[in-house]
Amino acid sequence: MAHSTAIRGVEIGLFDRISAFLNSLRDSRQRYRMYRQTVNELNSLSDRELHDLGLHRSTIESVALEAAYGK
């Protein structure tokens, strides 16, 4: 006697995929805005103010990346 079992994964509808894409896009844009804002604000500081924060001008981009993306 033979029988078959169909295992179906969770099917994601078109609306769900579009919604997930738009949410991902919105999240990416928010993170990029945070990155740019951090870079702009740190660049506006003097070298002395950056030193007081324990930063050097060459580390601004890496600090902004970490702030926005956690990298």
The pLDDT assigned to 3 comes to: 66
The pLDDT assigned to 9 comes to: 55
Other Cβ atoms closer than 10 A to 19:
12
pLDDT (mean) for 42-55? 97
The pLDDT assigned to 8 comes to: 61
Q: Tell me the C-alpha to C-alpha distance, in Å, between residue 24 and each of 17, 47, 64.
A: 10, 36, 20
The pLDDT assigned to 10 comes to: 61
How does the average pLDDT of the chain come out, rounded? Answer: 90
Position 19 pLDDT exceeds 90: yes
pLDDT (mean) for 33-59? 97
The pLDDT assigned to 12 comes to: 75
Q: Which helix (H) or strand (E) holds 52?
A: helix 47-52
